[in-house]
Chains A and B, each alone.
Chain A
Amino acid sequence: MSPALLVLEDGRVFEGAPYGAVGETFGEMVFNTGMTGYQETLTDPSYHRQIVAMTAPHIGNTGVNEEDPESGRVWVAGYVVREPARVASNWRSTKSLDEYLREQGVVGIAVRGTRALTRHLRERGAMRAGVFSGDALAPVAELVDRVRRSPAMLGADLAAEVSTREPYVVPAIGAKRFTVAAVDLGIKSMTPHRMAERGCEVHVLPATATAADILAVEPDGVFFSNGPGDPATADGAVAALRGVLDAGKPFFGICFGNQILGRALGLGTYKLRYGHRGVNQPVQDRRTGKVEISAHNHGFAVQAPLDGPFDTPYGRAEVSHVNLNDGCVEGLRLLDYPAFSVQYHPEAAAGPHDAAYLFDEFCEVMGA
């Protein structure tokens, strides 16, 4: 079997075997430390244009099933694993991961040095990379060159690429209590599901939705989802959110949505050296002091004062949640207005459900 190569923009190369589709792919090289949930990760739109390396060695053991995808397709640009499963073993499994990746045209690679790769990214920061196999193989120098010519993540406006083109409605489960307008910047299917479970009828709108489009739904609350790319480019979404806040609607944001709120409040965003991607990150709720083990997938973060409330065009705000590992801002909250957001993923999938209470809080502010 001809090999596959993982080539980083700084010239480091890992040799391995092709996994999934054969060909070439480019993206930002990131690592994910989750030990479960590869199917959810693969289908998370926030991974658009990223090559994801799994630090857990055995991937694909439970195959792929019908219920766990977080969107209609695989979004990762490329996939790096150590030990791909040869059989899929789970009562819900319908096909093997290898087959699924091939079907979806995802170029992957199995390399033994996933830990070396992670350490490399930890020391040198996220960078561009390419995976090459089959006919795409060429001398390394040329491959490095191809990687260096691929687009960078900083400054990338990607939400529109992953968002739904047409609005759609996720009906409430049981009795309807609220109408939510959810702007899809790369939304995961578990997010509207978590709201629907709580009696929300969720109107999912394209990333291009304006404040007027959003308010036209006559929502009880507005939600901005997670999504890929650099928040500094999302001027349209920021403007839309300002319109929502001006209209006095309750707001909840996740991940990219948190960054949009930050920008709407006049805060800056920045790129983390290598991001948070995994399901074990400790986040502290600063009001209660309680720690949540939470699912993360973000390469950017909001810059905000950690030492206390600060003024914004919408009144006082505060950092509501912080990451205990690196002190990074994980949540924002307006103090005089029903708007809050978190940088991590309370909808989990994959990941622990510790932060699910945030959906309850959203319902509370909509009901208030």
Chain B
Amino acid sequence: MPKRTDIESIMVIGSGPIVIGQACEFDYSGTQACRVLRAEGFRVILVNSNPATIMTDPEFADATYVEPITPDIIELIIAKERPDALLPTLGGQTALNAAVALHESGVLAKYDVELIGANFDAIQAGENRQLFKQIVAKVADERGLNAESARSVICHTMADCLGAAGELGYPLVVRPSFTMGGVGSGFAHDEAELRRIAGAGLDASPTTEVLLEESILGWKEYELEVMRDRHDNVVIVCSIENVDPMGVHTGDSVTVAPALTLTDREYQNMRDVAIAVIREVGVDTGGCNIQFAVDPATGRMIVIEMNPRVSRSSALASKATGFPIAKIAAKLAIGYTLDEIPNDITKETPASFEPSLDYVVVKVPRFAFEKFAGADQTLTTHMKSVGEAMAIGRSFPEALQKALRSLEKKGSSFSWAGDPGEKQELLAACRTPHDGRLRTMQQAIRAGATVEELFEATSIDPWFLDQLMLIHEIATGITELDEPTLLRAKEHGFSDAQIAEIAGIDEVRVRDLRHALGLRPVYHTVDTCAAEFEARTPYLYSTYDEETEVPAGDRPKVIILGSGPNRIGQGIEFDYACVHASFELSRAGFETVMVNCNPETVSTDYDTSDRLYFEPLTLEDVLEVVHAELRTGPVAGVIVQLGGQTPLGLAQALKDAGVPVVGTSPESIHLAEERGAFGRVLAEAGLPAPRHGTALSVAEAREIAEEIGYPVLVRPSYVLGGAGMAIVYDEETLATYMAKAATDHPVLIDKFLDDAIEIDVDALYDGTELYLGGVMEHIEEAGIHSGDSACALPPITLGGHDIKRIRTATEAIARGVGVRGLLNVQYAMAANVLYVLEANPRASRTVPFVSKATAVPLAKAAARIMMGATVAELRAEGMLPAEGDGGTLPLDAPIAVKEAVLPFDRFRGVDIVLGPEMRSTGEVMGIDEFFGTAYAKSQAAAYGGLPTTGRAFVSVANKDKRAMIFPVKALADLGFEILATEGTAEVLRRNGVHAKIVRKQSDGAGPGGEPTIVRRILDGEVDLIVNTPFGSPGQSGPRLDGYEIRTAAVLRGIACITTVQGLAAAVQGIQHILRGDVGVRSLQEHARRLRG
């Protein structure tokens, strides 16, 4: 069936900001879809609020709307663009939910928009648990398949519960019906527990109803990635097995592809059921995934759930197999069938086949618990990881060890140093799933644990446990570093660093020894077919095996180092910069070679670069890639500046090893990062910085703080995302901080500028000319990490004179440091003095935002400058504007607001107050003519929007009381009912705002049962919360009150503003919404205005 000709334009919805559970994988899928649809001649209309995505680059769609993914905004876009069809399956749950809302509200029918790639009924069937159970039962019944759902019984009395327990057996899962956030759920292991949990559950449920379900905790967990076309051809692209058994979210599990512990009989049964369920659900075309649990003792198989859309697992499966699920899904949605689509990799065989792997893929999650003090670190069915790394090897041990070192986190690789600890304690720790459990298990093995003991503690399949044993045996066999020993270790994935640690020598010595013996990895192709056919697409991974398959090239090569697993402070923005560099340098005649290990990203799409190495970003792995590339031709340069701290950290060592690092030199990078050296650069340029010092001890720190005066900002040197950064108001806290921070690196102490305006600048420098990319004014005051604070571009309160000062300062820094490429500088303007806070000679998180807001591709320009082009040349080419720059935007330029998105809903119990340590996972952009509208859009995109009516609760710190009067009065004038705690209410009343006093949480309920504010928030009586924090962390009283208020806000998903500046912006936003100013305009339209 050929392509449909009855539709001409298609709307694609993206997934919005990066949040836990929904990350760059949807940029990957959306980008693929947009590419396919455009190549097939459709007009593509894209909606996505996330500016850091490749898909929102103007060249990927005909009309790109960086607008909130809300039904009313999408309706505006539909009304304007009148698409024929909507493709909602490539933008995660966000896009699917939006499509359902548009369908239900009748918008799709009103504008005659056809849903393609999914239908409403299929979405419902996939999402509704009860409906899905019925489908599974039907499939088992009608098709005679061995399929079932977990058995469950709905109970209304304790007698019901006890009866059901007799039927289902212990342990049982108890789920009360219709309670908020799963309140009252739990595991009952015996009757006493059942009576307690189910009793409470029956009480908690408004319908006195609990669901008892058999527990499948500890069962083996699998997932199949399935594709179906409109001719009912179905293929299983990939099977994925969770090493962590049921009970840990797939996203938080170590997973492996293909499944390794199933017989063909079991696998084919799973395959039959998957196909039957998908047919029954009615997924017309596209990709979906379906999850299974298998009882290891009996083989009984339970169907858990399915997603009728492309998912995180599809991205993993695509990278694991070389079968591009999203791309094919887009083609299927427009009418092609699988047999009509060629397999990209072989070019000769069709996409209607099932990939065969002759390697093993391991994915490991990356967590960020260190950012969320107080969060429960136990892994559960609620996903908590912020990123992941994938690795490919010819065996499970090789792939696993590569994956663990790809995490790039201290302590994630297996280690044989020091005392492992006590066996029983380690085994006890293994019982609870946690970040790094495999490593705990490995330590337990060192302490003498057996496979049986580990199985008893973890329920992990004994085959995997034996593989851990094997790794341990190899490690203990490393006594002499002769060729067979080294080779054996390398074949099992040991890094030079691990071998060095075991042998008690230096890593470089191991490497030299290995090279002297001629032991180097070879590179195999990911070819979808286990070498049955020749592969045309160079997608490679390293392994210690026989033959290397690196193809020869004829152009000079540029190797771009990616950013590794997503983590807080280093995410999609860096991938964006790397991908741009690759596109542009390929266009400019270079052969581009990407190295990265993050399966979610566009950079690890084999279509992005001329060659992709799916490899860990450690010095060893990168040096081997460089070596392999050098064997087939000259390498013009290695780019380390675009992938964030990870590649930057390798710069000096690469240069020392003779690798041609291009762009800003490692020495210059050091100059910017090392405080003393940077201080001299500033001094030479006559630029002030906040007073500061560097301390190695508590005594030194105390002395410095006293001299420069509290409050001070303290942080370890060499960090990204403000890890370990804090604002300290007194000596006691400083001492505590220093005691904790005892590291090799010194601690930096800066005068903290209260009440300063913080400014972020991204610029390009070619050695002679500066191009000021953009000047961003933070909405929150200084002290909140730039990654977490909202900002506006062009700056809303800075005048031409200020920008001139900023330009001069930025140029002086660029020259002084020796930048070639991108530079990010953070300034603070306090009392009309422009202080330099820090400078980073690399791509920053804001590069994609600035690029989109100003319609200038900064990362592409940076890549060209690194390879020798000048700003003048790029202006002449048209890549940069012929005249002016981001500092000279016209007064009628649109205003773009970036807002950060924080993951507090995932970490209940963590205070949501912002500080100098970055905690956001993603960002959105609101763009419009006026600041208020742009800000309102950013809030809608990030949190679902500002209320325009209802009750606002206000409680602010004393220092904020003056500043809040005016905006709160404006809120009252707009018709909001104002609630306030006593102190705040007094101030408001004296200023003519009628504020109703509500009880603080610490007051408890009133004598007449008057509820506290927290109760009222939880009961849904409040629509907007303004709460600025006061007191220092850990204190009781007001600080704790605020904490509980903010936690309640997160629970209820209510807009919660924690700074006065944010309040002022919100009021402007609400005013604009009420005036009906909110319109939509595509980036292409904005660009025409900006660049003519």
Name A residues whose Cβ lies closer than 8 Å to a Cβ of B. 31, 33-37, 39-40, 55-58, 61-62, 65, 67-68, 82-83, 85-87, 89-92, 112-116, 118-119, 122, 278-282, 284, 289-291, 293, 324-325, 348-353
Residues of A within 8 A of B356 (CB): 33-35, 55-56, 278-280
Asked whether, in the complex, the Cβ of A350 is within 8 Å of the Cβ of B546, the reply is: no
Residues of B within 8 A of A37 (CB): 263-264
Q: Min CB distance, A250 to chain B, in Å?
A: 25
Among B179-187, B292-300, B917-925, the stretch that binds chain A is B292-300
Asked whether, in the complex, the Cβ of A65 is within 8 Å of the Cβ of B263, the reply is: yes
B339 to chain A: closest residue by CB:
A291
Asked whether, in the complex, the Cβ of A57 is within 8 Å of the Cβ of B358, the reply is: yes
**Neighbour of A293 across the interface among B354, B524, B547, CB < 8 A:** B354
4 closest A-B pairs by beta carbon, nearest first, are A37-B264, A113-B546, A55-B530, A350-B264
Asked whether, in the complex, the Cβ of A352 is within 8 Å of the Cβ of B451, the reply is: no
Among B228-236, B583-591, B598-606, the stretch that binds chain A is B228-236
Residues of B within 8 A of A31 (CB): 532
CA distance A119 to B548 in the complex (A): 11
Among B462-470, B560-568, B1001-1009, B1054-1062, the stretch that binds chain A is B462-470
Number of interface residues of B (CB under 8 A): 58
Residues of B within 8 A of A350 (CB): 264, 268
CA distance A86 to B349 in the complex (A): 36
Please, what's the 1-or-0 string for B246-271, where 1 marks a CB less than 8 Å from any CB in chain A? 00000000000011111111011001
**Neighbour of A58 across the interface among B297, B396, B533, CB < 8 A:** B396
Asked whether, in the complex, the Cβ of B354 is within 8 Å of the Cβ of A92, the reply is: no
Known: A33-B532, A353-B272. 14 other contacts (CB 8 A): A37-B263, A55-B532, A83-B395, A85-B466, A115-B531, A115-B547, A116-B546, A278-B356, A280-B356, A291-B231, A291-B338, A293-B235, A324-B349, A351-B268
Residues of A within 8 A of B396 (CB): 58, 83
Residues of A within 8 A of B280 (CB): none
CA distance A202 to B360 in the complex (A): 42
CA distance A299 to B235 in the complex (A): 25
Most A-side CB within 10 Å, residue of B267, B360, B462, B531 = B531
Asked whether, in the complex, the Cβ of A61 is within 8 Å of the Cβ of B358, the reply is: no
A64 to chain B: closest residue by CB:
B263
24 inter-chain pairs at a CB distance below 8 angstroms, sorted by A residue, are: A35-B258, A35-B356, A36-B259, A36-B268, A67-B265, A68-B263, A82-B395, A86-B466, A87-B466, A89-B466, A90-B263, A92-B263, A92-B299, A112-B545, A115-B358, A116-B545, A122-B534, A278-B532, A280-B353, A282-B350, A293-B352, A293-B353, A348-B268, A352-B271
CA distance A62 to B339 in the complex (A): 33
A118 to chain B: closest residue by CB:
B531
Residues of A within 8 A of B534 (CB): 122
Q: Min CB distance, A287 to chain B, in Å?
A: 13
**Neighbour of B547 across the interface among A34, A67, A119, CB < 8 A:** A119
Asked whether, in the complex, the Cβ of A62 is within 8 Å of the Cβ of B261, the reply is: yes
Asked whether, in the complex, the Cβ of A57 is within 8 Å of the Cβ of B233, the reply is: no
CA distance A116 to B262 in the complex (A): 26
B528 to chain A: closest residue by CB:
A280
**Neighbour of B264 across the interface among A40, A114, A278, A325, CB < 8 A:** A40
B907 on interface, CB distance cutoff 8 Å: no
Asked whether, in the complex, the Cβ of B233 is within 8 Å of the Cβ of A115, the reply is: no
Asked whether, in the complex, the Cβ of A122 is within 8 Å of the Cβ of B298, the reply is: no
Residues of A within 8 A of B524 (CB): 115
Q: Min CB distance, B98 to chain A, in Å?
A: 33
**Given A36-B262, A116-B547, A278-B532, residue A55 in contact with residue B354 (CB < 8 A):** no
Q: Which residues of chain B from 518 to 549 have a CB within 8 Å of any chain A CB? A: 524, 529-534, 544-547
Asked whether, in the complex, the Cβ of B353 is within 8 Å of the Cβ of A282, the reply is: yes
Asked whether, in the complex, the Cβ of A284 is within 8 Å of the Cβ of B262, the reply is: no
Asked whether, in the complex, the Cβ of A290 is within 8 Å of the Cβ of B231, the reply is: yes
Residues of A within 8 A of B470 (CB): 86
Residues of A within 8 A of B232 (CB): 290
Most B-side CB within 10 Å, residue of A39, A62, A86, A113 = A62
**Neighbour of B339 across the interface among A61, A65, A281, A284, CB < 8 A:** A284
Q: What secondary structure prevails in chain A residues at the interface with B?
A: loop
Asked whether, in the complex, the Cβ of A118 is within 8 Å of the Cβ of B353, the reply is: no
Q: Min CB distance, A274 to chain B, in Å?
A: 8
Residues of A within 8 A of B339 (CB): 282, 284, 289, 291, 324
CA distance A92 to B235 in the complex (A): 27
A277 to chain B: closest residue by CB:
B532
B534 to chain A: closest residue by CB:
A122
B325 on interface, CB distance cutoff 8 Å: no
Asked whether, in the complex, the Cβ of B263 is within 8 Å of the Cβ of A39, the reply is: yes
Residues of B within 8 A of A325 (CB): 348-350, 353, 533
Asked whether, in the complex, the Cβ of B462 is within 8 Å of the Cβ of A122, the reply is: no
B461 on interface, CB distance cutoff 8 Å: yes
**Given A89-B461, A293-B353, residue A61 in contact with residue B261 (CB < 8 A):** yes
Residues of A within 8 A of B348 (CB): 325
Q: Which residues of chain B from 206 to 249 have a CB within 8 Å of any chain A CB? A: 231-233, 235-236
Asked whether, in the complex, the Cβ of B451 is within 8 Å of the Cβ of A87, the reply is: yes
B359 on interface, CB distance cutoff 8 Å: yes
Residues of A within 8 A of B262 (CB): 36, 62
Asked whether, in the complex, the Cβ of A36 is within 8 Å of the Cβ of B263, the reply is: yes
Q: Min CB distance, B491 to chain A, in Å?
A: 7
CA distance A15 to B544 in the complex (A): 15
Asked whether, in the complex, the Cβ of A324 is within 8 Å of the Cβ of B265, the reply is: no
CA distance A256 to B268 in the complex (A): 24
B357 on interface, CB distance cutoff 8 Å: yes
Q: Min CB distance, A238 to chain B, in Å?
A: 31
A349 to chain B: closest residue by CB:
B264
Most A-side CB within 10 Å, residue of B462, B544, B546 = B546
CA distance A86 to B1004 in the complex (A): 63
Asked whether, in the complex, the Cβ of B353 is within 8 Å of the Cβ of A324, the reply is: yes
CA distance A40 to B263 in the complex (A): 10
Most A-side CB within 10 Å, residue of B265, B271, B533, B547 = B265
Residues of A within 8 A of B260 (CB): 58, 61
Asked whether, in the complex, the Cβ of A35 is within 8 Å of the Cβ of B531, the reply is: no
B88 on interface, CB distance cutoff 8 Å: no
B549 to chain A: closest residue by CB:
A119
CA distance A92 to B534 in the complex (A): 38
Asked whether, in the complex, the Cβ of A56 is within 8 Å of the Cβ of B265, the reply is: no
Asked whether, in the complex, the Cβ of A57 is within 8 Å of the Cβ of B268, the reply is: no
B463 to chain A: closest residue by CB:
A89
Residues of A within 8 A of B21 (CB): none
Residues of B within 8 A of A89 (CB): 261, 461-463, 466
Residues of A within 8 A of B337 (CB): 289, 291
Most B-side CB within 10 Å, residue of A65, A112, A284 = A112
Residues of A within 8 A of B463 (CB): 61, 85, 87, 89
Residues of B within 8 A of A118 (CB): 358, 530-532
Residues of B within 8 A of A92 (CB): 263, 299
Q: Min CB distance, B461 to chain A, in Å?
A: 6
Asked whether, in the complex, the Cβ of A91 is within 8 Å of the Cβ of B268, the reply is: no
CA distance A279 to B338 in the complex (A): 18
**Given A36-B262, A122-B531, residue A91 in contact with residue B395 (CB < 8 A):** no
CA distance A306 to B797 in the complex (A): 75
Q: Min CB distance, B804 to chain A, in Å?
A: 62
CA distance A116 to B545 in the complex (A): 9
Please, what's the 1-or-0 string for B899-920, where 1 marks a CB less than 8 Å from any CB in chain A? 0000000000000000000000
Residues of B within 8 A of A289 (CB): 231, 337, 339
A112 to chain B: closest residue by CB:
B545
B545 to chain A: closest residue by CB:
A112
Residues of B within 8 A of A116 (CB): 545-547
B287 on interface, CB distance cutoff 8 Å: no
Q: Min CB distance, B785 to chain A, in Å?
A: 45
Residues of B within 8 A of A278 (CB): 356, 530, 532
Most B-side CB within 10 Å, residue of A36, A40, A284 = A36
Residues of B within 8 A of A282 (CB): 339, 349-350, 352-353
**Given A35-B356, A82-B395, A280-B354, residue A55 in contact with residue B531 (CB < 8 A):** yes
Residues of A within 8 A of B360 (CB): 57-58
